[in-house]
Amino acid sequence: MIERARVAHGASFASLTIGDHHDMPVPYAQNTPMLGRLLAEWPGRPAGCLFLMPLWHPLLMAEQIGTLAAIHQIDAPGERFIVQTGIGWGQAQFDNLGADMRTRGSYIDAAIPIVKALLAGEQVDDEAFGLRGARVGLRADVDYDWWIGGTAPVALDRAAREGDAWYAAPGASDADLGAGIARYRAAGGHRVMLRRDAVVAATVEEATERAEAIVAAGYRGMTVDQLLVGSPASVAERARELAELGVDEIVVRCANRAQEQALETLELLGTIR
């Protein structure tokens, strides 16, 4: 992950973010300590991380963001800190963290304003979350850029109401993405950030062969057509199509498991950008 961050920075990627998941059967670097390390590889540009909000207490989440934003300011003074939010999934993950999947929508609606207030330096009282005079002592006086995920109509409305951008899911078809963008913009939303898992190689054939092997091994339950696959020229054309659909930025995650191939994907994406 450190090496990929270095290569992505050298390839002039615009921002760096890291995901959030818990109770994993495979090695998974947790978001806040890992981003704290990766910020050393990311001077001068926006950075941030995802929080599956129903799995976090608002005060704890705000404290983690505040500390990360303060670290970020060392090598990227004045740059915005990105807060991505997701509603979360997986019954076992929720159960093992004492969270309730049935109330996750109402939880995130209640928690976002509290986290925002804490990061603004306010003292917060909230009976539902057991907060009495809560505050965050270490934080940064920067713009916190909120990207709010979700695909249901209520989630799109939440992104337009509470967020600075809609963080669209990686597996969405063009039809679903177009419908989501229309709903989001009708609700007053502006920016659309689309996640895509990418496999890029010198030729379309080589990239497709790699992608098919990755999918056959069970990559995140995805199909090849849900990935960003191709040569620099074909991926650039696909990016133009997504822009015409209403996407403002594509947030890339390497689908390649082999490190050399992942670094090649990042370097070629840099030439496309």
The verdict on residue 231 lying in a domain is no
The verdict on residue 221 lying in a domain is no
Helix (H, G, I), strand (E, B) or coil at 85: strand
The verdict on residue 74 lying in a domain is yes
The verdict on residue 190 lying in a domain is no
pLDDT at residue 241, as a whole number: 97
Q: How many domains does the chain have?
A: 1
Q: Residue 68's domain spans which residues?
A: 2-149
pLDDT at residue 72, as a whole number: 98
In this structure, are residues 21 and 1 in contact, taking their beta carbons and an 8 Å threshold?
no
- Identity at 81, one-letter amino acid code: F
- Identity at 239, one-letter amino acid code: A
pLDDT at residue 113, as a whole number: 97
Q: List Cα–Cα distances, 12 to 18, 180, 268, in angstroms.
A: 17, 29, 11
The verdict on residue 134 lying in a domain is yes
- Residue 92: CATH number of its domain: 3.20.20.30
Q: How far apart are the first and last CA of the chain?
A: 21
Largest CA distance in the chain: 60
The verdict on residue 126 lying in a domain is yes
The verdict on residue 243 lying in a domain is no
Q: Which one, of 272, 215, 206, lies nearest residue 242 by Cα?
A: 272
Residues in contact with 1: Cβ distance below 8 Å, sequence separation at least 6, in sequence order: 18, 29, 34, 38
- Provide block-wise average pLDDT over 10 residues at a time, the chain (273 residues): 98 96 91 98 97 97 98 96 93 91 93 98 97 97 95 95 96 95 97 97 98 94 95 97 97 95 97 88
Q: Which one, of 195, 257, 256, 264, lies nearest residue 231 by Cα?
A: 264
pLDDT at residue 259, as a whole number: 97
pLDDT at residue 220, as a whole number: 87
The verdict on residue 40 lying in a domain is yes
Question: In the chain, which ranges are continuous DSSP H helix?
Answer: 2-10, 31-38, 58-75, 91-96, 104-119, 153-162, 174-186, 204-216, 232-245, 259-272
Strand ranges (E), 122-202: 124-126, 131-134, 144-149, 165-168, 191-200
